[in-house]
Structures are given as structure tokens and as C-alpha cells.
Structure 1
Amino acid sequence: MDLTRQRAHWIDRSTVVWRFEGPVGDRRCDLVFSPDAALQIIDGALTGPHETLPLRIRPSGLSTAQRQKWPHLADHAAFTVEADEDTIKYALRGQVAVTARDDGGWLLVVTGAQLPGVLDDLYADAVHVDLGCRFHDDGGVTISVWAPTAKNVALEWSDDGETQPMWRDDHTGVWRVDGDWGWTGRRYRFRVEAFHPATQRIETMSVTDPYSVALTANSTHSVVANLLDPLLIPADWATLRKPPPVAPARAQVHEVSVRDFSIYDRSVPEQRRGTFAAFGTPNSTGMRHLRRLADAGVTHLHLLPAFDFATVPERREEQATPQTDLAALPPDSPEQQVEIAKIRDKDGYNWGYDPLHYSVPEGSFATDPDGPGRTTEFREMVAALNGAGLRVVMDVVYNHTIAGGVSAHAVLDRVVPGYYHRLLADGRVADSTCCANTAPEHAMMGKLVVDSVLRWAVDYKVDGFRFDLMAHHPKANILAVREALDRLTPQRDGVDGRAILIYGEGWDFGEVAGNQRFTQASQHQLAGTGVGTFNDRLRDAVRGGQAFETNPRSQGYASGLFTDPNEDDVNGPPEQQRALLRHQQDLIKIGLAGNLATYRFVAASGATVSGGDYLYNGSPAGYCAAPGECVTYVDAHDNEILYDTLAFKLPAGIAPIDRARMQLLALSFTALSQGMGFVAAGSERLRSKSLDRNSFDSGDWFNAIRWDPAEGNGFGLGLPPSWDNEDKWPFAAPLLADPLLVPSAEVVEWTVERYLELLRIRRDSPLFGLATAVEVQDRVSFPLSGPTETPGVITMRLSGVEELLVIFNAAPATATQKLPDLRGGDFALHPHQRAGGDPVLAKSVFDPATGIFTVPARSVAVFTGSAPRR
């Protein structure tokens, strides 16, 4: 018997479900509630003033519709609640429990009840109510909050300390207060009085507005602000010209943190470094580089979380900095990470996957975090990036919050306790995503997701959304976002919602895995929706190993498996390596074809198979229905960045230029595949994080992009932080001490130029980024696939208005590929690669007499021309 756990589930106004041991028929079960939260268990008896509602067992259990909506509760006993709506609403504003007694009246079991289901049922019309701060054309202002379980809600003004009563709409559970435009700029919080299961008592909590549109510094108070206020709108915002819309299959995305981008860029005025405003510095080194990328074919800049997050002091003067000269320490020293550890909770750095307020720009990225000025600077950033030829993607993290319970950071859980988060069987908050998991399957959390996305799309003109851990969302929620965006029009809303990208992480794990609670927005289940997911199949094949490997020496296609063995036992003997490489090459081909479930090709075994039949860790390798649903990537902000991966995996002694060639080879798959290409910003210039695999809290020292070639590429900055890398230190230390692994400025620029050539090739050919699975099947082939394919070499043919032959050669020796069908054809190295001036790549040739293509070591060559007429 435990009131602190909620093992019963009140799923709608007439139904409670509960799993307990033993037969049900000989027990009397009741729902009990205490308006004053006075329930206690003393000497095995339930005490304290309370009221009782009898529960009647349903022999048939849940209905078919209920089982479909609550699959994880399908085997629970079901009971009918016999009470009118007013009584239920009254009960829900106090402490609720369920009891079981024997036929003699002795208490056998008592537990709390989870309430989200009944709240969604009773207050279903709340999803149609506008929440937060709304300005009206008649000069009025309304502030509203959904708090159906609250006994009372009032508005607290911080400027004069007064509270203002709010009135409750009993039909929707929404509390509101009306004022006028004179409230603009005032700072407020809600004072919510409600039962909280975390403390088992009625709490009076002061909390910011979950629908805040503006905040004070450090997010202590919400601010009344009108996002249509001319003072918050940059010049020409209403007539902002965006780069042309891009279909998902044609998109090329670069991912960067706002702070990483400019915090070490000396060409940016100091007060603007690490902020939104840095993107509005047109002649900075970083912005000049972004324009080069955009001119070559990058279409979108993906920003790591830029909404309000919890773990960074927002005022620059409050942020701690290292007190030691880190640059003076040895490249393999542990001292740098020790100094970072001292300040990591007080410095200005975090990736931002710790949401506080979903719909307000992050204050630490603003030159002045206090008030709505951050809104203006975010908009100016969007305008500047659009002007540079780039659309803007936001990384959104609706799957969890930084905290639950009564924590000062638990915004949602202090407004409607126990509702916004996903609860486990005993009522504890699930945390499989790392923090307090939210529950978008609950109507008002799902509404918050849609409303927030629309806020960014309409009021900030954001061009795309990357959903963190998207499979923790119901598929229906992500499709609701897509549908809401699709309804936006330039005439009515100022934006074309159909041009807005949606993609995310489709990883299937945790308490929702395998559709335990709902149909997930996971990789396989988003096929046919147009929503993109990251392709880990090609990623792992190119890099080698898996995302969370403990031995970082396991090799892949672009890191030397079989072709450049590093002699580590983790890779096995040569024949095992050869077999694995053949498997990796098949996975890469499926990825190059858009990771389509229906794409058919000849596998290494000699059999003709489809992407959906080919296996990756026991699951179908190909799962997309259209190429635009595949996000092809070889690195991102998490796990080691590409340069560091190759540093771990390639054998010692490889020259810097050859490491750069292998880096370029890996990146080529993001540029020359079907579907969306995705790259961690800086990988095109050999960016390193000194082997840090999870740098979310490692400070500027390990994360910042170093634009000045004299500062190196970020490699050899010391051993990465011990809190997430110490197990790899034995591998890392000798690498960090090797000066050969710090590329020269010339090698960095060489890599950038070669990468830009690949982007231009993609940009200028309609054969990259085909729209449909049928087109891909008809136009993309791998003519030398099968048992005799050369290890380390992949040949891809694209046919259409032009003929392209792409040869990826990961081997350390020149490769020759004979295609008899092309004898007598006319092929030459692509003009963009010929014009690049790489003397090694210039040796790529085609012999029409034999149909043999020759490509130098560790290179990717694109040939263009025409096939012979037969």
C-alpha cells in the first residue's frame, strides 16, 4: 500500500484500469478523493477526510477502442466509475486514489491514480483554446493558462508584487485574465495552487507561463509582449525574400551551434560573438564561409537548440571562464578538461537539449537577454541567413524537459502536476531520453508541440524543424505538425508552410519501443509521410562500428576496413574484414539510393534483393518510401565528429593529405546520394573536438569552430572530458600527441575546395535528389555489384538527361573499373572537378576502347558524358 505511487489509471470519465495480483471478483474497489490531500495510511488503514466513488468491475475488460488507445494497459482489469461530470471534476482538483478491500471491509491495496486520460476526456475542447499572452485589435490583452486540476490560479506581477485573480472556464479547465495593451513589458508568473503527486500535498507554486513569448534574463519571469510590435520587427521583415524553396530530396543541410559558430571568430565584434547577432555580421569569417557553402549548394543551416534552455547563465557577466592558459598545456594533457570541469555548470556553454520554454529564443544567445530584444535578434539572424542564401532549421526538443516535480525548472509539471510527462507503471516519470520525458500522446502536450512549431514558423519564419528523439512522439503528433504547417500560406500567414522541412531522429527505444503505447514516429513507420529520418545504416557502414562503441578502432568503408587495416583485434582477421566490408558496401548502396525499402540491386552475395529485405542488425536496411525521407549523414553534433572518428580508426602514419582524402570520401556520400544530405558544420574543413564524443557540456574550448588557421582545427586541445570519454583515453592520448594529426591551413583549404566541388556537382545535376522511388530505380544503378566487386570500390551510374558515373575508391591504390556496356562512350572527369586543380584527381580517366574507368587512391571521381548507342 503506497500513496506515493500511482499504479491505477483513470483513462476516461467512466473507466479506471488497474493491475493487481489475485482474483478481482471477491474484492470491493473504490475510487477515493480528498479535496485537501489529507489521505494517509496508518496501521494499514486509510485515514483522513475523503469521499468515495464505487468502482464496478467490467468482466470483459477494456473495449476495443480503449485497447487501441491504451495498448500498454490492455491486460489490466477495468472498472466503471459511476459519477456525474461535476463530481469527477471536483475530485480531480484534489488527491485521488484507488482502494481494494476484502469482503470483510479490510483494506488490501491502496494506490494513487494517473490522471492524463480522464483530463483529456473531460477537457477535450481545451485543444481549441489559444493559450499564453494574446493581444487583440481592440486594445485588449488576454493571458490564459490550462490548469484543470488547480484549486486556484492567480497572476503575479513582479513589478509591484501584486496578484490578480484569474477566472476559470469549467468547460475547458482554462484560467484567464483580461487587461489592455498597457500591460506591455510587465513581468508576470502564475501562482498555481494544486495537489502535486511528487509531494503528496497541496502546493502553492509560482511558475512562468509555458506559452511565454518573452522572458526576463535567466527565465525568472514571463514578459507581456506583442510579437507584432513594430519595435520587435526588423526592417523589411514583412517582405523578407527567402531563398527558393527546396524539395527534401534536394536539401543539403549544415548543422551548427549558435555559440560554436562565432565565439572564437575575431572578425565578429566581441559583444556579438556566440550570439544570434553574429550571423548579422556580413563580413565575418564565418559568414563569408557560409556564403561559399550556399553558393555551392548548401540549402539550409540547422541550428542546435536555440529556444530557451535551462543550464546556462544568460548574462555574459555571470558566465565563468577558465582561469588557466589552456593553450599553453600539452596536446595530450588531462589538465584542460580538469579546468573545464571546474566551471562547466557556470560557463556559457551547453548544446541546449534541456528545454525550459519551448517558444522563446535562448537568452544567452542574445546581446541583451532581458526582455523581448532576443526576439528581434533571432529574426535578424533569420533574415541575414536567408540573405546569404540559406534557409534556417531549428532543432526542437519536445520529447523531454529538464525537470519534473516541483523543481524550479519544472514549468509544465508545476502547472498541471502529473499530466505533461509520460509516467511509468507506478507513476514515476519516464526518463529514457535522459531527462523527464514528455507525453505528446496527451492532447494538451500534443497541442503545445503544434502551437510551438507554428510560433517559430509564422512569427520567426523558420524554414525547417529537426525533432530530437522523434520516435518518442506519436506518429499522429508529427503528422499533425506537418498538416498544420501545410496550411500556412504566404498570403494569410506570410510563409509557405509546404516548403518547411521536417526531419528527426527515428530511434526506437525506451518505454515506447515497439509501439507499446502508440504508433511511433520511428524510422520504419514514417515511410510515405514525407517526414525525414536519419539513416544510421549508411553512417555506420561509412564510419565503422556503432554509435556507442567502447573500442573506437573498429573500422568501416571510409576508415580503412580491409583496405587500410589498423591491426586492432576488434576488426578480426582479414577474411572477416573482407566479408564485413562487402556488407558495408551493400548498406552504402542502399543509402546512396535513398534508403528505399523497394530499391532492388545485386548484393554482394550475387542475389538480387530489395532494400527492405536486406538486413541491418536484424532490421530492414531500407525503410523509406521516397528518397526525400532519408537523411544521409556521416557525423553530427553527438558522437565523435568525422575527423575525430577517422583519427581513431585510420592506421598511424597516414599523411595529413590522405586523411583529408578519406574525410572527403566520407563526406561525398552526403553530397552524392539520393535524399537529404546532412553535415556537421566544420567537417568540410577538418574540424575536430579533440576526440570528445559527447561535447554537450565541454565548454567553448572543445567545441568552438576555429576560423583562424593558425589556431589549428581543434585537434590536440588536451584529453577530452573524463565524465564521458575516460574509457577512450588509452586510445586518445597517443593520437593527441601526434603533430601529424593537426592539418595545415593548406590541407584544410584543399578539403574545403574539394567539398565545394562535390556540392556544385550535386547542385547542377537533376540526377541527384530524385523525387520518387520509381525514378531512383530507373536512373540509379550499381553495375559492378555482386561477388566480384572490388573491395573498397563502389561504382554508381546515374542515367537521364545526362550520364554520370561516380566511383568511390577507399583503397590506398589506384582502382580500375571495367564497364563493357560503356565501351565506345564519351566520358570525362566532371568539369567542376577538372577545374579544381587537384593533380591527383586529374589522373581519373576513361578509356573508351576498353570501357575502363581509372580513379586514384582514396578519391571520389564523378565522370560525365554519354553512353554509346547500341
Structure 2
Amino acid sequence: MKLKTILRLLLSLFLVVLVGCTSRVDTTSTTELTDVSVETNHTQQNDDEKLGDKTLVIHYKRTNGDYDDWNLWLWQSRPIDKDGKEYSFTRSDDFGKVARIPLKAELNDSTKIGIIVKKGDWEEKDIDQNRFINTYETDENNEVHVWLLQGEEMIYKNLDNMYLGPRVTAYTINSLREITIETDQEISNQDKIELLGGLENLDIRDVNINTDGMGATLTLAGDFDFSHTDYRILINGSTAKSFKGESLYNTNLFDEFLYYDGDDLGVTYTKSQSSFRVWAPIASEMKLTLYNGGDATKNDIYKQIDMTKSLKGTWVATVDEDLHGKYYTYKVTNHGNTHEVVDPYAKSAGVNGRRGMILDLNTTDPLNWNLTTAKTFVEHEDAIIYELHVRDLSIHETSNVKDEYKGKFMAFTQEGTTYTNEDTGVTVTTGLDHIKELGITHVHLLPAFDYASVDERRNDQFNWGYDPLNFNVPEGSYSTDPYNGEVRVNEFKQMVQSMHQNGIRVVMDVVYNHTGPTHDSNLNKLVPNYYYRIVDGHWSNGSGTGSETASERKMVRKFIVDSVVYWATEYKIDGFRFDLMALHDIETMNQVRAALDEIDPSIIVYGEGWTGGLTPLPWEQQVQKHHISQVPGVGVFNDDIREGLKSGFIQTGDRINDVKFGIVGAIDYYDPNNSNDQTYSDKYTWASDPQQSINYVTSHDNETLWDQIYNTAGHELESTRIQMQKLANSVVLTSQGIPFLHAGVDFLRTKDGEHNSYNLPDEINQLEWDRKAEYNYVFEYYKGLIKLRNEHPAFRLNTREEVIEHFNFIHIETYSDSGEFEIIGYTLNNHANGDDWETILVLFNGNDTERTVDLAEYLDGTWNVVVDENTAGTEILDTVDADSITVAGHGTIIAYK
């Protein structure tokens, strides 16, 4: 009770004082108030003055005393982040160099300052990390002193705890058991040297000090362990020379000791035994899990087996029983984290690709598979490519493909499908029969490997498929049974077999430059950060997807080469189109070409000669179109002729030189009639051979040609726009190189103006066969141009030398003041490439109105016209025996004698 009474009295006294103070402030005289106010303001002014006079003093030591051109970059981080400024070291002390920076004058009263020590104009940084200095604490001179040591992240506030003894400045891992180090000071046998992997001390058996004492050779008691995230080399327990485990990925050591060149990655199956081998060089543990089914939502484990570490970073397991039809995954432990992954070399998978499948691949072969071969094909320039999405071919009701085959691989096996317009009575072929009737040589399938973006359990999903999941597995949504991995393999083979039996070769669109998932991809879980390019701790985004693969690393390169070889041998694929091929290095693509040549030199390879964004892969290593001459036998899309045609020539006759460049196959060709009187090589040339130029005007990317023409010439009559469309691919189909057509362009395909339909519904993407019936005359025109190319080798010259020998642009004078800028004309001469026709004349008019071309000065004789603005083919439409010839607006003339 006494204590409570005292507390009440104290509380009452406090309240009296508080009330008294409040009353005093309200009623005191000005002087008294001023005294209080002055006292308070005086304190604030002193703080401000103290802060304003504050000076930051930075002491910096470089171990070998090389201070030339080293300076500081400082910026205000708090209270507000601001731009930075360069500062110089202005004096020296016993420690090293010194910089003094008055904070009020230079850094706006900063309370936290960012600091980078750099050389010159950002030629080099001392350390990669940004560091920060708090400026609250000052000494008696109102100064903030910090000490920095070369190569060390720590910021010291005094010298008391600073280790100034010898440090490791550089290291080299010479072999699995030998590391050499360099130091900033002499060392002796009295100095203790340690190598730590994570928290584990890696046993050093012997230390051999260099004769000059400025380093040593360390001999390890066992093989260097690559499984740690971080490594540190310490002397006398000092702050260590640190390096990331993944920094070793690009070293010769890593390749020498961990590159596996065997051909048995994945599963090697026999009826009595299945052997598993997976490359996971930094894993600490690996388990094989076998399942009865392929649905990852079910817990149906068959058995789990510990895998054994084997040679060159691989892990192995063998199961002595027939595992055909079982599914499997690996459980890999890296840096203490365990993940379940699908084998990158898996040959099939369960629904949605979450489990690999073990297969006796012989059981997946269709009847007479080994007797089925592709149509004979020798010269790559003989190809005519038709780009097609698997689902688009058959999903529309007018395809009249069986319902169970619509949107599937099996749609390519159904023959005899047609569509009839009941109002007009016009009947047209659909599906496979349409492709065969058109006469193209190669069907280019958009990604048909297993990709991540659709749910295979549903039948209403659409995606182009440029997000790879399992690179060596057919896509399950195109299978009639996505749950059974055996079915997708068999049906893919049936599709290929059917096209081969109908004289059509098959090209796969392959996407090795990125994966669908990145951090969570199977590849990254197996070997963290190895398969990808990483810049400053971030995934490089040269693909536009954030997951750019590193083809220059040997095991990534091996995976790409192994994969195309597998598709070419197991599925008899006849060509590969590489997405964003410039993200691959030149050596990788040369190895791809060489590996395929060993299988079949007629396999065609081409790709996009550009990237989707910035990449750390050096420019000179990229398979850009300008470097394609360094990759013989590989082609690139010719965006010069593409832009020339769709963005000028077919509408107005503009951009003639871009078009002419594509017509000669992008080679170094001199044209005396070029308006600039130059060789094309002065501005353009990149192909060493016509086959390296994939000539096209549209593909799956961007708008269809019909939609693009509508956007640029929608004011024109439909009949005029149709002539523009026919003109565009008249040029493509008669140019030197390899022509490439977007499926449906032959009947004015539309996507309702959508320029990026990668995930839009079937209503936008599907081929509408009633449209073919409506515009069948356009289809017949394309069909005639393809027949002309197939039957006349003059349009398929095989070398640069042949083009120069047999090809001539002609200088055209027309009866229009500006006509010479609107018409392209050339001849193919002297039975070019063994052609039956001695001379072929080709004229293209990009102008709105007809043009009469004066031929007298250059050509004479009787000409047989086989192509005009309405009809194309090899049959004679007209005979011209005159000094001039008339070409319709947006029209083509091809004649021979």
C-alpha cells in the first residue's frame, strides 16, 4: 500500500510539472520564450553546421602499389538516391591513397553514400559489388574515415581489425588435384593456407612455395570437388579469395575433366536390362525413380534406386528387368537442395511431360517403316518449303479430316479429304492432299517436340510451341492419347511416313536457344546455371524469353548435336529450322551440319540469322546472317527480300535493290544496272552460295501476307490486292536460293489482322478450306509457279559461279517517265543448269498500271509466254514476236525461247 501511495504522489507531481510547463509556454514573456526557443534552435543549428562541415575520408590500398588512373565513383543513396560523380585520390599516407570529400559541398548532406572503386572511364572495377558508407558516425574532427583494400568487399572503420598480411590475388586450377595461387606479398611455410568449399575444408596434401615467395602450388589430397556453390582460399585465416563454383563452367579444366562424349546418355534399353546415365557433375546425390504410369499427379512409384557416380560427371544405374512401358525421373541433390527432374535425353514422356518413358523404340515403328524413304533429293536449292502448324492443317471443320485426327499428327495420314462449296459447286482438296497437289517439296512443321504451354489433357489448347520442355519427345497434344508415351512416338512416325510416301520431306522447327521454364527447367535443376548464359547474376535475355542457353559450352553443344542426330535417325527428319539461330555460336552450327552430313547430306538446315535481344555471346561468334558464309551448308531467312517485297515493291515498285538482292540469292553479284552502280557486296552480300538464302515474304511471325497487304493497301480493290499477293510470291518462287511459303498464302490466308497469334484460339489460326474454294484460282496460280520451278532447273542454280555465268539483269526502258524504277527484269541464259529452255525472260511490275517494256536493244526473237498476271505454269499462253512486251500492273511475265 505504501508503494502504491508513493507512485500516486510521483504521478501527481509529474502531471503538475507537465501542466505547469504547458501553461508556461502559453503565458510566458517573449524573453523567456525566446530563451527556450533560442536554446532549442541553437542546438539544431549546431547539428546542421556539424553535418555541413562533415568530410568523408577514403583510404585505399592496392597491394602492388599500382594506383595509376584508379578513382572513385560516389553517389548519394540516402535520403534520396541521386546520380553519381567521379572523384580522384588527391594525397597519400602510409596506408595508400586518400580522397577527401566535403559532404555538404559535394554530396548534398548524404547520410548514406554508394561507392565504386574503378579504373579510368570504367575500364575495370576493383570488385563487382556496389558498397555503401553510412555517414552518421564522425570523429572529433567531424570526419568519417573508411579504409578499403584491393579486391576486398569489407569496408573498415579503423585499422585495428584489418589483416595486412599476404593475400591471394589470383588462382588457377591446373588439374583435379593441383591449384596454383599468386599472392600480394611473400609467403613462407609458416603461413597457413586453406581451401574451403562452402564450409567444408578441402584437404591440401602439399604446399610448394614459389622461389620468389609470391605464390604457391597446392596439391590436394583428393580430386577437386565441383559440388560446392562457393569456394575460398585463405592465408592465415584472412579474408579469402572467393570464387563461385559456376565460374569454373567456362574453364578448360571443367571441359577436360567433366565433358562426357559418350553416346549413352539417357536410357539404353534391352528386354533384359535398362541402363541409365545422366550428366550431373556437381550433384552430391542422385536417385532413379521408376513409375508404373506417366501421370505425375498419381503416386504410383514402382521402385527407387540409388545411382552411382561414374566417369566425367555422370551418374549411372542399371535395372536387370524389362522396363518397357515404365516411366522414370531423377531426384538430384545440388547444394543441399533436391529436385525431381525429367531426363533431358528422355525419348518419350507421360501426359504434360512430367515423367520420362522407357521404350523399346522398335515397337513404335509403323508397318514397313524401315522400307519407307523420302523422295530422292540432292541439291538444297531444289527445296520448296511450306511452313505449317500441326493443328492448323486439320482443326477447321471444312478439312473433313476424321474428328479423332483433327489437330493431330494422324491428320497427315488421312488421304482423299476434300471440301465442296455447296453454293458454287467448287470442290478442293484439303489436308495432306492439298499439300501434295500444291507440289512443294518440304513441309516445315512448327515446333512438334514436347513444349510447356498447353495442357495435354484438354483438346482446346493452342500454342505455336516455342517453349521447349522435353527436346527429344513428340508433343503430347498432337497425339490421340497423350497419357501413353508410346502413342505419340508411333503417330509422329506415321505422319512422317505418310508424307514420305507422298513425295514430301519433313522439316522440324527446333528451339535450342532457350527453354520454357528457366530456373525450374530440368536442365537447370540438374546442373544449376550451366546450360544458360548469365550476366551480372541475371539470366541473359537474348531470346526475349529470359532463358538463353549457352551453346558454346561443350555439354550444351553436345546436347544440341545429339538431339538433331536423334530426330534425323529415329524419325527420319529431312531438315531443321533453328529458331533465333544467331544465339548459337558458329562452331556449334558447323558441328550440327557435319553430324547431319554423316547421316544424309540432303538434310537441309536453316534458321533465323538474328537474335531476340542482347546477348553476351560475342558478335563474331554469332550465327548472324552476315556470318553465314562461315557455316557452309546452312541457310538463313533473307529479310532483305522480305522487306523489299512487302514494304514497297509489290505496292509501288519501290525498294527494287532489296528485291534484286534476294533474286540472285544474296550472293556477291555485280549488277551494272544497279541504280548506285555498285556491286551488291558493297552493301548487302552475306551468302556464299544460293542455298544459304531462304527467300520469303511472310512466315508464322507477324501478319499473313493478305492481312499485311490490306494494312498497306486497303484502299485498293480486292482484285488489285490479290495481284499484289501473287506478285510477291512470283518473285520468291523464281529467285535463286530456297523459296519458303507460309501455309495458306496460296489461298489468301487471313488471321483477321493479328500479328502475333502464338496463343490465340483456332478461330484465328486455323486453315479455312472454304477459303481455298473461294480463291481456288489463286491456288492454281501458286501451283503453276511451283510446277515451273520444279521442272526448270534454271531457277535453281547451285553455286555463285553458276549465277554469275547464267544470270543477267536487264536495263529496262519503259514508256513511263518513272517506269524504270518500278520494273525488275532479268534473263537466265545458255540452258542454265541444264535447262531445256535456252533463254528465260522474267519481268516483274510493281506499279499500279501496266508497263510496256522495250526489248529491242537487249533481246530479239520469238518469246513463248508461260506466266502472266492471270495464269502460271509451263504451258505456252501466248507468243510474242515484237520489240516490246506489256506487263500488267502488279503483274509478272515469264517467257522463254
Smaller-chain TM-score range? 0.7 to 0.9
Contact 2:576 2:604 in 1 (8 A): yes
C-alpha distance in 1 between matches for 2:267 and 2:324 = 10
Corresponding position of 1:64: none
Cα distance change of structure 1 residues 855 and 217 upon mapping to structure 2, 3 Å threshold: same
Contact 2:167 2:240 in 1 (8 A): no
- What are the superposed Cα offsets for residues 659-678 of structure 1, whole Å, 9 maximum, x if unpaired? 11110101112200001000
C-alpha distance in 2 between matches for 1:678 and 1:180 = 50
Amino acid at match of 1:520: Q
- Asked whether 1:393 is paired with 2:507, we answer yes
SS at match of 1:487: helix
C-alpha distance in 2 between matches for 1:131 and 1:106 = 42
C-alpha distance in 2 between matches for 1:823 and 1:368 = 63
Amino acid at match of 1:775: E
Corresponding position of 1:305: 447
Q: Which range moved further: 172-181 or 769-778?
A: 172-181
Cα distance change of structure 1 residues 249 and 49 upon mapping to structure 2, 3 Å threshold: same
- What are the superposed Cα offsets for residues 680-726 of structure 1, whole Å, 9 maximum, x if unpaired? 100111001111111101121211111123xxx8xxxxxxxxxxxxx
Corresponding position of 1:860: 892
SS at match of 1:400: coil
Cα distance change of structure 1 residues 604 and 87 upon mapping to structure 2, 3 Å threshold: same
Corresponding position of 2:353: 219
Q: 1:32-431 alignment to 2 at 5 Å? A: 49-51=199-201, 82=218, 84=220, 86-88=222-224, 90=225, 92-97=226-231, 105=238, 113-118=246-251, 120-136=254-270, 139-159=272-292, 160-161=300-301, 162-169=303-310, 171-180=311-320, 182-195=322-335, 202-229=336-363, 232-266=364-398, 267-285=400-418, 288=430, 290-291=432-433, 293-295=435-437, 297-316=439-458, 319=459, 347-370=460-483, 371-405=485-519, 407=520, 410-426=521-537, 428-430=539-541
Aligned residues: 684
Contact 1:100 1:107 in 2 (8 A): yes
- Offset at residue 530 of structure 1 (A): 1.5
Corresponding position of 2:71: none
Contact 1:593 1:673 in 2 (8 A): yes
SS at match of 2:346: coil
Corresponding position of 1:805: 841
Corresponding position of 1:541: 644
Contact 1:242 1:387 in 2 (8 A): yes
2:880 aligns with one of 831, 835, 846:
846
Corresponding position of 1:757: 784
- Offset at residue 123 of structure 1 (A): 3.3
TM-score under structure 1 normalisation? Answer: 0.73
- Offset at residue 311 of structure 1 (A): 0.7
Cα distance change of structure 1 residues 219 and 823 upon mapping to structure 2, 3 Å threshold: closer
Q: Which range moved further: 172-181 or 808-817?
A: 172-181
Cα distance change of structure 1 residues 593 and 314 upon mapping to structure 2, 3 Å threshold: same
- Asked whether 1:794 is paired with 2:824, we answer yes
- What are the superposed Cα offsets for residues 269-288 of structure 1, whole Å, 9 maximum, x if unpaired? 11110000000111224975
Structure 1: gaps (5+ residues): 1-16, 34-45, 60-78, 196-201, 320-346, 489-496, 545-555, 564-580, 615-620, 714-744, 866-870
C-alpha distance in 1 between matches for 2:197 and 2:447 = 48
Corresponding position of 1:605: 675
- Offset at residue 30 of structure 1 (A): 7.7
Corresponding position of 1:692: 754
Cα distance change of structure 1 residues 358 and 47 upon mapping to structure 2, 3 Å threshold: closer
C-alpha distance in 2 between matches for 1:837 and 1:398 = 40
- What are the superposed Cα offsets for residues 318-355 of structure 1, whole Å, 9 maximum, x if unpaired? x5xxxxxxxxxxxxxxxxxxxxxxxxxxx510000000
- Offset at residue 28 of structure 1 (A): 3.4
- What are the superposed Cα offsets for residues 180-207 of structure 1, whole Å, 9 maximum, x if unpaired? 4511111111010112xxxxxx211111
Cα distance change of structure 1 residues 285 and 116 upon mapping to structure 2, 3 Å threshold: farther
Q: 1:306-705 alignment to 2 at 5 Å? A: 306-316=448-458, 319=459, 347-370=460-483, 371-405=485-519, 407=520, 410-426=521-537, 428-430=539-541, 432-488=543-599, 497-508=600-611, 510-512=613-615, 515-516=618-619, 519-527=621-629, 529-544=632-647, 556-558=648-650, 560-561=651-652, 581=654, 584-596=655-667, 598-607=668-677, 609-614=678-683, 621-652=684-715, 654-705=716-767
- Offset at residue 384 of structure 1 (A): 0.9
C-alpha distance in 1 between matches for 2:792 and 2:754 = 37
Amino acid at match of 1:255: E
C-alpha distance in 1 between matches for 2:393 and 2:486 = 23
- What are the superposed Cα offsets for residues 347-399 of structure 1, whole Å, 9 maximum, x if unpaired? 51000000000001000000011221101100000011112221000000000
- What are the superposed Cα offsets for residues 478-514 of structure 1, whole Å, 9 maximum, x if unpaired? 11111111112xxxxxxxx111100001115644478
C-alpha distance in 2 between matches for 1:292 and 1:635 = 20
- What are the superposed Cα offsets for residues 636-656 of structure 1, whole Å, 9 maximum, x if unpaired? 00111111110100141x222
Q: How big is the alpha-carbon RMSD for the aligned residues of Structure 1 and Structure 2?
A: 3.4
C-alpha distance in 1 between matches for 2:649 and 2:879 = 23
Amino acid at match of 1:310: A
SS at match of 2:793: coil
Tell me the percent identity.
Answer: 31
Q: Which range moved further: 388-397 or 279-288?
A: 279-288
C-alpha distance in 1 between matches for 2:798 and 2:467 = 36
Contact 1:424 1:430 in 2 (8 A): no
Cα distance change of structure 1 residues 99 and 249 upon mapping to structure 2, 3 Å threshold: same
Amino acid at match of 2:662: G
SS at match of 2:665: coil
Contact 1:29 1:99 in 2 (8 A): no
Corresponding position of 1:70: none
Contact 1:252 1:299 in 2 (8 A): yes
Contact 2:866 2:872 in 1 (8 A): no
Cα distance change of structure 1 residues 404 and 244 upon mapping to structure 2, 3 Å threshold: same
- Larger of the two Rg values belongs to structure: 2
Amino acid at match of 2:494: E
SS at match of 1:278: helix
TM-score under structure 2 normalisation? Answer: 0.71
Amino acid at match of 1:794: I
SS at match of 1:376: helix
Amino acid at match of 1:797: T
- What are the superposed Cα offsets for residues 230-251 of structure 1, whole Å, 9 maximum, x if unpaired? xx11011000032121422121
Corresponding position of 1:323: none
C-alpha distance in 2 between matches for 1:415 and 1:523 = 33
Contact 1:31 1:53 in 2 (8 A): no
C-alpha distance in 2 between matches for 1:147 and 1:514 = 24
Q: Which range moved further: 504-513 or 475-484?
A: 504-513
Contact 1:31 1:96 in 2 (8 A): no
Contact 1:845 1:855 in 2 (8 A): no
C-alpha distance in 2 between matches for 1:381 and 1:854 = 46
Corresponding position of 2:69: none
C-alpha distance in 2 between matches for 1:836 and 1:379 = 35
Contact 2:784 2:872 in 1 (8 A): yes
- Offset at residue 129 of structure 1 (A): 4.3
C-alpha distance in 2 between matches for 1:296 and 1:85 = 70
Cα distance change of structure 1 residues 24 and 812 upon mapping to structure 2, 3 Å threshold: same
- Offset at residue 305 of structure 1 (A): 0.1
- Asked whether 1:772 is paired with 2:772, we answer no
